[in-house]
Every structure is written in C-alpha cells, then in structure tokens.
A and B are shown apart, each in its own frame.
Chain A
Amino acid sequence: MSKMTLKTEGDRHVVVTRRFAASPELVYRAHTEPALIQKWLLGPTGWTMPVCINEARPGGKIRYEWTDGKGGGFYVTGEYVELVPFRKIVHVERMHLPAPTPDNQIETTFEKDGTGTLMTMRMTLPDSEARATMLATGMEHGMEASYVRLETLI
C-alpha cells in the first residue's frame, strides 16, 4: 500500500503517515468515537475489540481490549494529553501483554490535503531500547496477521 509510510526517526521515534479520502473532521471522529474505532482498529483478521473506552478530553482514559475469539487477546490503556478538535490528538498509551510496555507518547495530526486528509502519527518512546521492544512486539502481532491470512488461503 503506497498510501502509507512507516519509518523510524532518530533514536526514539516512529513516524507513520497515511492519506484519506475524507475530511479531517471525519478522520478525527473515527479516531475518537468508540462505535467507529471498533470497526477498524482491529489488527489481524478475525480479531474484535469488545471493550472500547475512549474519553476524548484532556486527562480522559483510553482502554482498548482485543480478542481473537479463541481465548487469546491483550489490551492497551492510555490517557489523553491534548485534543484540538479535527486537527490534533496527543495521548500516551501502553500495551499490557499482560506486563505493561513502556509508555508510548503519540501525537496524531490531521491536515487538510486537497479534498482529503493527511494524517501523521509521531510516536515517542522513552529510549531506543523501548522502541526496539515496541517494534519487536508489533511484529508478533503483525506476523500473526500474516499467519491468519495464510490460513484462509489454505
């Protein structure tokens, strides 16, 4: 998918960009309204998010719980730091596997781009080790996605 980029920056950052064919308002809402988040923030095929708490205000709580429907799953907790409606979200999150991973501070911006939106998500980890762990953990789940897709092909 050429629309998305993912790269590391310096020692502690990971930057993801993606363009959407919808206004910044809609993309922002899809990131802050639980009923919408539950439709797309799912990871591997077959996974669902039965619990989605998203209090979109400074200091508000975030809790996402995922399950594969076969007893497997994990959850993320976080807190909002700053919200500029339809333009910017700053929040902190950590994965529980079940031990919590180091805090990941994420600044997400939504910029008007023609008739659509350019989203930029900049993650900041406490140090290079934490980023390495985050990337390696993401891999396990990414790999799982590939395996699940593979199963459907067989």
Chain B
Amino acid sequence: MQSLDTAFSALADPTRRAILARLALGETTINELAEPFKLTQPAISRHIKVLESAGLIVRRIEGTRRPCRLAPAGITEIDQWLGVLRDALAANYDRLDKVLATMKPQRRKDKR
C-alpha cells in the first residue's frame, strides 16, 4: 500500500511522467535524459531518485555509466491496482444496470 502511495506521488509530476515515457522506448543515461528535457543533470538526478525509490525504474552500473530503465514490476503493480479499482466500480455499475432495467419513466401523475 505504501509503495503504491509513493508510486502515485512519483507519477504526479509531469517531468517524471515524460521521463517514464522516454524510458518506455529503452534504457538511457541521465546525460541523455537531461538534453531533451532542457534540465540540469542534478535536476534530472533528483527526478530519477524519486522514480527509483518509488520502484518505477531501476539503474545498473556499467563502468562509469549508470543507465536507467523501467521497472516492469512497479509499472505492473500500478496497472493491476487501477484494474482492481475498475473492477470494484464496474460491480456497482453492473448493479445499476439491473436497477435501471426495472425503472419506468416517471409519469406526470406521480408528481405533486
């Protein structure tokens, strides 16, 4: 539950969503990310840290480079959770379908 809270907070920032969109295309380094976003490297690093601690991305060490990529588990967790919420709401609306099927348009005589 805590990790979902962190994940949704991490997703609340438009730059971080754009970073995730970029990472969806493949692994990349902070230097490569900083350029299109016109942000300084420290600024990008801060966003990357938030995404990393939220479990949405992972980084590996490759010599002096530390490329980052999407963490499938974190992304799947958010997807699954939105799916659970959808199911709960959908159950309400399936019941509403049945209620509507029993209703008739209100007639004048019903009104005072």
Contacts and interface: CB of A to CB of B under 8 A. Distances in A.
Interface of A: 1, 3-4, 6-8, 11, 16, 18, 20-23, 25-27, 29-30, 36, 39-45, 128-129, 131-133, 135-136, 138-143, 145-146
Interface stretch (B19-27, B58-66, B77-85): B77-85
Interface in B69-94: 81-82, 84-94
A46 to B, nearest CB: 12
A26 B5 contact: no
Interface of A: prevailing SS: helix
Which of A1, A21, A133, A146 is the most central at the interface, judged by chain B CB atoms within 10 Å of its CB? Answer: A1
Contact of B12 (A11, A29, A36): A11
Given A25-B105, A36-B103, A129-B9, A41 B4 contact: no
A110 to B, nearest CB: 12
Contact of B84 (A11, A21, A139): A139
Interface residues of B, number: 32
B85 A6 contact: yes
Contact of B100 (A30, A41, A131, A145): A30
Interface string B7-25: 0110111100000000000
Interface of B: 1, 4-5, 8-9, 11-14, 81-82, 84-101, 103, 105-106
Question: Top 4 A-B pairs ranked by shortest CB distance?
Answer: A128-B12, A132-B8, A142-B88, A22-B100
Which of B5, B12, B95, B96 is the most central at the interface, judged by chain A CB atoms within 10 Å of its CB? Answer: B96
Given A30-B100, A42-B95, A132 B87 contact: no
Nearest to A16: B89
A21 B100 CA distance: 8
B103 A6 contact: no
B100 A26 contact: yes
